């Protein structure tokens, strides 16, 4: 059986999604062959007045502790750099990506997760107050110890990704081999900021896919692939970033593909992502087992080439 190209987003686990439901979702994911679990040290700091994260990592840690043997069946990916520290407004007050911040953030993640290594460690967002070499070296030291398996960059400008990789290569260090950005079937209006984020650099663009396609060792993971449920739910309006004529054409193509195949729009979106060139790994943020089942069905669906061509042609 082909490996399921789907990551389980744990952002709401332990905060908006209670521990019992989080465990049910995690159990179902693993039972159905899922392996990739995505979290961050700062999830979900915005849900409490103290602006403290760690809920998600703690729930995953509790689940790993109560399921002997499951650690060997999953790959844990977590992020650092965005946890608020001290006073002031986020994102100005975040921990950032200095060498000491990277070291201390990883120690905290390992403690909360109750594990001795993270399979994939992401920088959550850029920190231009720190020389790039310092961050790249700090990450490489972790990757060259047994603490971190692999390195990824989230919400990082493509030129900074490329520069980081070249710094690592020139020094013989381990560099980034994964990108995590916002991506779905609908395309944002050029120049639109990423919804709920204070930046414009977090989107997958045609240039991202061109770069990932050319660099054979790079993977791309897509966050918010289901647009928080907006493809299928009236209570989830589309973000203003999608307010342009191309959206009408894409939604029509999506509806036709879903009707032709007798599947849901969410399933077509996930199949379109996983079966693309290059393939993309969607990170779904489900809050029930039923939502997870739909996501797993979609990620495993193979679109007929003519339908994929119709979906691609709608711009």
Ligand X SMILES: NC(=O)c1ccc[n+]([C@@H]2O[C@H](COP(=O)([O-])OP(=O)(O)OC[C@H]3O[C@@H](n4cnc5c(N)ncnc54)[C@H](OP(=O)(O)O)[C@@H]3O)[C@@H](O)[C@H]2O)c1
- Give the one residue of 219, 285, 300, 314 binding ligand X; rule: CB under 6 A: 285
Least Cβ distance, residue 243 to ligand X (angstroms)? 18
Of 168 and 220, the one with the shorter C-beta distance to ligand X is 220
Number of H helices, E strands in the chain: 10, 8
Least Cβ distance, residue 293 to ligand X (angstroms)? 8
Is 288 within 8 Å of 25 (Cβ atoms)? yes
Is 175 within 8 Å of 141 (Cβ atoms)? no
Computed on alpha carbons and rounded to an integer, the radius of gyration of the chain in Å comes to 19
Q: Does residue 9 belong to the site contacting ligand X (CB under 6 A)?
A: yes
Q: Does residue 113 belong to the site contacting ligand X (CB under 6 A)?
A: no
* Distance of alpha carbon 179 from alpha carbon 165, whole angstroms: 12
Could you tell me which stretch among 9-17, 164-172, 185-193, 241-249 binds ligand X (CB under 6 A)?
Answer: 9-17
Of 124 and 308, the one with the shorter C-beta distance to ligand X is 124
Could you tell me which stretch among 83-91, 142-150, 165-173, 277-285 binds ligand X (CB under 6 A)?
Answer: 277-285
Q: Does residue 38 belong to the site contacting ligand X (CB under 6 A)?
A: yes
Least Cβ distance, residue 11 to ligand X (angstroms)? 3
Q: Does residue 78 belong to the site contacting ligand X (CB under 6 A)?
A: no
DSSP letter, residue 185: S
Is 282 within 8 Å of 299 (Cβ atoms)? yes
Could you tell me which stretch among 90-98, 210-218, 237-245, 281-289 binds ligand X (CB under 6 A)?
Answer: 281-289
Q: What is the 3-state secondary structure (H, E, C) of 123-183?
A: ECCCCCCCCHHHHHHHHHHHHHCCCEEEEEEECCCHHHHHHHHHHHHHHCCCCEEEEEEEC
Q: Does residue 229 belong to the site contacting ligand X (CB under 6 A)?
A: yes
Residues that bind ligand X (CB under 6 A): 9-11, 38, 154-155, 180, 223-229, 232-233, 266, 283-287, 291, 294-295
């Amino acid at each position: 059986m082909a490996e399921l190209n789907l990551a389980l987003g744990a952002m709401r686990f332990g905060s908006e999604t209670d521990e019992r439901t989080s465990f049910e979702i995690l159990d179902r994911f693993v039972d159905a062959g899922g392996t990739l679990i995505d979290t961050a040290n700062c999830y979900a700091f915005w849900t409490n007045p103290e602006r403290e994260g760690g809920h998600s990592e703690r729930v995953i840690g509790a689940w790993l502790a109560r399921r002997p043997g499951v650690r060997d069946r999953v790959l844990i990916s977590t992020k650092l750099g965005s946890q608020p520290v001290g006073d002031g407004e986020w994102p100005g007050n975040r921990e950032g990506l200095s060498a000491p911040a990277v070291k201390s953030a990883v120690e905290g993640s390992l403690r909360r997760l109750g594990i001795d290594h993270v399979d994939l460690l992401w920088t959550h967002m850029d920190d231009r107050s720190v020389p790039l070499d310092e961050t790249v070296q700090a990450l490489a030291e972790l990757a060259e110890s047994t603490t971190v398996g692999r390195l990824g960059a989230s919400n990082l400008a493509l030129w900074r990704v490329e520069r980081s990789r070249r710094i690592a290569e020139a020094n013989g260090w381990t560099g980034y081999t994964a990108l995590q950005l916002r991506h779905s079937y609908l395309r944002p209006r050029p120049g639109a900021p990423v919804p709920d984020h204070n930046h414009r650099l977090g989107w997958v663009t045609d240039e991202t896919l061109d770069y990932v396609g050319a660099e054979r060792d790079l993977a791309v993971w897509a966050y918010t692939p289901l647009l928080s449920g907006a493809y299928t739910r009236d209570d989830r309006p589309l973000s203003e970033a999608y307010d342009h004529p191309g959206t009408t054409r894409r939604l029509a193509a999506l509806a036709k593909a879903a009707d032709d195949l007798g599947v849901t729009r969410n399933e077509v979106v996930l199949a379109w992502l996983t079966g693309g060139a290059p393939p993309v790994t969607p990170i779904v943020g489900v809050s029930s087992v039923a939502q997870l089942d739909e996501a797993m069905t979609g990620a495993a669906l193979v679109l007929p080439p003519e339908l994929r061509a119709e979906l691609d042609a709608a711009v």
